[in-house]
Amino acid sequence: MIIPLTAAIIFGLALAHYKWAISRTNLETKTFLCTHFLTMFGVGALAAWWWGSWETPLFSQPRYIGLFLIIVSFGLVYNYFLVRGLKRESLHEYELIDLLMPIFTVVLAAIAFVDEREPVRIGLALLGASVFLITHWRRHQVVFKQADRWLVYAVFLMALERVLVKPILTIIDPIVLYTLRTGLISLILLLFFRPRLARIPAVEWLQLVINGLLGVTSMVLIWTSINQFGVVVTELYLLVTPIVLAIVSLFFFKERWTLLQVWSFVVILASIGLMNQLL
């Protein structure tokens, strides 16, 4: 299970860097989104050129074309919500809001796919996710601020995308699919917002490239894990992501842990250990 675990760790680092870059950038939201997706596309295209397989019936079957366009539209919307929310929140806020995503994703996957309805796997995934959700609930007394709401909208759309991408991955290489997705989103954003890319400082581009490397690597690994192990198993392992965010926030952002967070980490790691024994 190296792939989903590695994906979770790199995804956590990517989110931490994403938050750091957003909080310190002087770019407008629309310009940041354009350059973010442009660099993701560039990194993905290079990787797909060397390692991807471009033989796919994706564009010859209306069903898959429709699913592809849906995940592109979701990517446009939830990344806008993410940028709006993360500009206003501390890192641990996203860590906690992100914990809603496994519950959404596991439930949606079980509804959509028969092979995702194994009770023990669902139980372990929901156990870990529920513990984190309860932690968030008690800490904030179920009161969401406006910035929290942007993140909740983003997380829900991310969950939908993660479920809908599963059937497409049966006919296309993950790195190629991700390159096509980021490429189309980049084109739409560039045509719509028309940012002045030449005025962006080199240091901003450097941070975007670093985030692109982390983001592409993590997302391709996540999609590879979904294709090989399923959505539910992948979601359980991705609960390691908030642990990575908590470690980063502790050492770099001086955001303190609570006893409930530590207890949640123990439950998550125990659930993953049980899953390893069952697979």
pLDDT tens across 182-214, in order?
Answer: 999 999 989 988 888 888 888 888 888 898 899
Is residue 161 within 8 Å of 60, Cβ to Cβ? no
Q: How confident is the model at residue 141 (pLDDT cuts 50, 70, 90)?
A: very low
Buried b / exposed e along 215-241 (16+ C-beta atoms within 10 A): bbbbbbbbbbbbbebbbbbbbbbbbbb
pLDDT at 87 over 70: no
pLDDT at 114 over 90: yes
pLDDT at 96 over 80: no
Position 145 scores a pLDDT of 55
What is the Cα–Cα distance from 103 to 130, expressed in whole angstroms? 7
Higher pLDDT residue, 59 or 116?
116
Position 173 scores a pLDDT of 93
Is residue 19 within 8 Å of 215, Cβ to Cβ? no
Q: How confident is the model at residue 144 (pLDDT cuts 50, 70, 90)?
A: low
Position 224 scores a pLDDT of 95
Percent of all residues in the chain with a pLDDT value above 90, rounded to a whole number: 39
Position 168 scores a pLDDT of 93
Tokens of 126: 């929901």
Is residue 240 within 8 Å of 1, Cβ to Cβ? no
| Max avg pLDDT among 75-89, 94-108, 145-159, 220-234 | 220-234
Is residue 85 within 8 Å of 242, Cβ to Cβ? no
Name the residue type at position 183.
Answer: G
pTM: 0.87
Position 115 scores a pLDDT of 92
What SS3 state is found at 142? coil
Region of residue 113 (phi > 0: left; psi between -120 and 50: alpha; otherwise: beta): beta
What is the Cα–Cα distance from 40 to 17, expressed in whole angstroms? 14
48-58 pLDDT, tens digit per residue, is 999 888 877 77
Over range 172-190, report the average pLDDT: 93
Q: Give the position of tokens 């240091």.
A: 203
Q: How confident is the model at residue 265 (pLDDT cuts 50, 70, 90)?
A: confident
Residues 6+ apart with CB under 8 A from 164: 67, 70, 71, 74
Pairs from 267-271 (Cβ < 8 Å, separation ≥ 24):
267/127, 267/128, 267/131, 268/128, 268/131, 268/132, 268/239, 268/240, 268/243, 269/243, 271/124, 271/125, 271/127, 271/128, 271/236, 271/239
Position 192 scores a pLDDT of 85
Q: Give the position of tokens 């939201």.
A: 29
